Structure 1
Amino acid sequence: MKHIAAVGAGFSGAVIARSLVEAGYRVKVFDIRDHVAGNCHTERDPDSGVMVHRYGPHIFHTDSERVWEYLHQFTELMPYTNRVKTTSGNKVYSLPINLLTINQFFCKAMSPTEAMAFIEGQADLNIADPQTFEEQALRFVGRDLYEAFFKGYTQKQWGCSPNQLPASILKRLPIRFNYDDNYFFHKYQGMPRDGYTAIVEKILDHPGISVELGTKFTREHVQEFHHVFYSGPIDGFFDYELGRLGYRTLDFKEIRAEGDYQGCAVMNYGDESVPYTRIAEHKHFSPWEKHEKTICFEEYSRACGPKDIPYYPIRLTQEEAMLRDYVQKARDEEGVSFVGRLGTYRYLDMDVTIAEALEAANEFLTLVEQGRKIPPFFVEPI
């Protein structure tokens, strides 16, 4: 029986491991942390009883029926709508920017048609081809909304001026001309009743899977396995020989209180004068539960150091050039495929991570059956 290694006990490693053991393989899963589920890790707070998203909020949303049904094998997904608020200039508004936000901000009572015409008058139409985040925002919402809701938050999140960030970060038109305040557009949205860690534990609960936590997987271990699926940092696999790819990391300041602290799950803070980007109140992520006490995290973004947990790949010019070099080194390796957010240095939502892991496992099985070479990447990182 061939032995496979899956490095990383998050969704990428767990889903691949489960798919392969069900096809007859044995899989050993490694993780450097002392728990599974990676940055999706959830745990019960012993004092309040609240299910805490230890590394920041994770809301499941997808248009993929396949992924939605896959998760339902391992959890009950409860109905949940992500309704984000933001504080700007000592006033609270609804996000994403919608008709209520526009009418509140400009002290008007416009219809959708009137609001469209009004915002078009605010937009900087001289920017024909936005190249930066700032230009993208100015082109679509104008300076007032940009400075209230995007400029300060983005500066804090990425540690640089929005005029240094690519327009692609602001992917789609950040405005709605109705009163829909659902943060996501996707068909399926929900929260796991027992948290994300319980899902990953159930995915890994198979006699053909062994899990080693608190264990660093090194390049030298590759030869011990028929194949390795590596979802750790691609630069870390090569011991940062070419330098470290840039990430933002997060720090959390805990707040404990009685009752309801802020009245919503997530409150953004758009003003540059407020040092944190948002506050998450975790009991609101499980509205079917009732708790007298509450626990919140203030969230601070900063550059990721060597001992920090990487969250968001920066992917500016310097990182893109370094990534190309690491990708070439990965192509020269034998017996390793790089997968997931860290392995391909891409920002991935949970549903995309799961879908890509399922596809990677299926492609691996097909290629093995055909006697063909396993690629270093199932999804190209560049």
Structure 2
Amino acid sequence: MKKYLIIGSGFSGAVIAEQLSKDPENHITVVDDRDHIGGNCYTERDTETNVMVHKYGPHIFNTDNKEVWDYIQNFCEMVPFINRVKSVYKGNVYSMPINLHTINQFFNKAMKPEEAKVFIESVAKNEIDEPQNFEEQAMKFIGKDLYKAFFYGYTKKQWGCEPTELPASILKRLPVRFNYNDNYYANPYQGIPKDGYTAIFEKMLASSNIEVKLNTKFDASWDLSEFEHVFYSGPIDAFFDFKYGRLSYRTVYFEKSVAEGDYQGNPVINYADPEVPYTRVHEHKHFTPWEQHEKTTYFTEYSKETEGNDIPYYPKRLKDDMEKLSLYEDEVKKLDKISFVGRLATYRYMDMHHVIGEALDLIKKIN
């Protein structure tokens, strides 16, 4: 019998556990310091409204990787879903990402696609050859007015600093569409699991040779010698007891509200004005349009710096962070039979499909 230890029951840990469990000679132990499986993808029914709630914020599954799309559907019925995000700025509601409707509405014009392209090129800061920060990257794409309206305030609230302090790499590519396509994602496969995400993790971890231990916090002092391999999906700095200092993250927290009927008419609405303290409001009944609910529950989302007991969400990856990360990565290279997997252990922002794809690829190499 080969014994494996997996720290964390999010998609990295669950996919690896499910793949290893196919060999009946393997025994897999999954530990998680929370009281539930599924990590930040955990969903549950709201006790007051019966709405399926994404407890740690909205998760719309989207990918261009057919292998990942086919794989996830082994564990759920994925209902097609198009995410249509709106943004409120100075009392007006706009369509996001920026598309022809947004441009025409914002500038009070009725341009055709080619006319809009020429117009945006005329207002973009083309003199910026190599953007040095987030602000310059955005200005190069769309110019000052659209940047100030939809990105400056929102980004400042999201990251807790001036956009000029953020690396340009955060905004690798800014989708601007010169048609009326308001689908937030460009990937061909998009959906939401009919029974929520938690049901996926329950099926992934259902094999008799998988043992799940919740409310169990991993400690670097554990004796790992009995395991054939260890897969760690927690924060990389925590694994090494923060010996080189903490990596910085932004985290989010939510204020829950319940109301009759329909609160905002859309799953996600961003609030771009810097004086509005929250970043967005998500109304979860709209993530399951195939269900009917008389009441609704919605969450107002705020962003802040991650402190000791907070759940880290978005790696900031500032210069100081990257220097510390390099030191931690050198420590990882010294370890034998331990793989660091997923968003926290690699200190990267990753979507669900990236996490699943990398976990599947890793198991192919190990097996």
| TM-score bracket, shorter-length normalisation | over 0.9
The structure 1 segments of at least 4 consecutive aligned residues displaced by more than 6 Å after TM superposition are none
- Note the 1:74-113 alignment, pairs <5 A: 74-113=75-114
Aligned partner of 2:346 in structure 1 is 344
Pairing 1:114-133 to 2, within 5 Å after superposition = 114-133=115-134
CA distance in 2, matches of 1:242, 1:358: 31
Could you tell me which amino acid in structure 1 is paired with residue 16 of structure 2? I
Q: Tell me the SS of whatever aligns to 1:301.
A: strand
For residues 279 and 324 of structure 1, what CA distance do their matches in structure 2 show?
A: 36
CA displacement at 1:330 relative to structure 2: 1.3
> 2:34 aligned with 1:33, yes or no?
yes
State the alpha-carbon separation in 2 of the partners of residues 338 and 128 from structure 1.
36
- Aligned-pair distance for 1:26? 1.1
Q: Distance in 1 between matches of 2:322 and 2:281?
A: 31
The aligned residue for residue 4 of structure 1 is 4
String of CA shifts for 1:244-265, please: whole Å, max 9, x gaps. Answer: 1111111101121111000100
* TM-score w.r.t. length of structure 2: 0.98
Alpha-carbon shift at residue 231 of structure 1 (Å): 0.5
Paired residue type of 2:9: A
> Is 1:196 matched up with 2:197?
yes
Partners of 1:64 and 1:281 lie apart in 2 by 28
Cα shift at 1:121: 1.2
2:290 is the alignment partner of 1:288? yes
| SS of equivalent residue, structure 1 residue 220 | coil
Name whichever of 67-76 and 15-24 sits farther off: 15-24
After TM superposition, list the pairs within 5 Å mapping 1:1-382 onto structure 2: 1-23=1-23, 24-221=25-222, 222-365=224-367
Query: Under a length normalisation based on structure 1, what TM-score does the superposition of the two structures give?
Result: 0.94
Alpha-carbon distance, 1:334 to partner: 2.5
How far, CA to CA, are the matches of 1:51 and 1:322 in structure 2?
39
Offset, 1:15: 0.4
How many Å apart are 1:332 and its aligned residue? 1.4
In 1, the alpha carbon distance for the partners of 2:98 and 2:91 equals 17
CA distance in 1, matches of 2:344, 2:333: 16
Query: Counterparts of 1:243 and 1:223 in 2: how far apart (Å)?
Result: 27
CA distance in 2 between partners of 1:220 and 1:69 (Å): 39
Superposed CA deviations along residues 298-339 of structure 1, whole A, max 9, x for unmatched, are: 111111001100001110101000001111111112331111
Question: CA separation in 2, counterparts of 1:333 and 1:219?
Answer: 12
Once the two structures are TM-superposed, the CA of residue 239 in structure 1 deviates from its matched residue by 1.3
| Distance in structure 2 (CA, Å) of the matches to 1:355 and 1:74 | 15
- Alpha-carbon distance, 1:340 to partner: 0.6
Supply the distance in 2 between the matched residues of 1:87 and 1:47 (Cα, whole angstroms). Answer: 28
CA offset digits 1:221-244 (Å, max 9, x no partner): 222322100001111111112111
SS of match in other structure, 1:67: helix
Return the offset for 1:169: 1.1
Give 1:25 shift. Answer: 1.4
Q: Structure 1, residues 205-225: CA drift from partner, whole Å, max 9, x if none?
A: 001100000001122322232
- Secondary structure at the aligned position of 1:223 is classed as coil
Identity of aligned residues (%): 57
Distance 2:242 2:169 in 1: 27
Cα deviation, residue 174, structure 1: 2.8
Runs of at least 5 residues in structure 2 that lack an aligned partner in the other structure: none
Partners of 2:236 and 2:168 in 1: CA distance: 25
Distance 1:348 1:212 in 2: 25
Distance 1:253 1:224 in 2: 44
Letter in 1 for 2:365: E
**Structure 1 unmatched ranges of 5 or more:** 366-382
Separation in structure 2 between the aligned mates of residue 342 and residue 164 of structure 1, nearest angstrom: 22
| CA deviation after TM superposition for structure 1 residue 21, in Å | 1.5
Whole-angstrom CA distance in 2 between matches of 1:338 and 1:73: 25
| Equivalent AA in structure 1 for residue 8 of structure 2 | G
**2 CA distance for matches of 1:359 and 1:22?**
16
For 1:372, the equivalent position in structure 2 comes to none
Q: Which moved more, 1:169-178 or 1:5-14?
A: 169-178
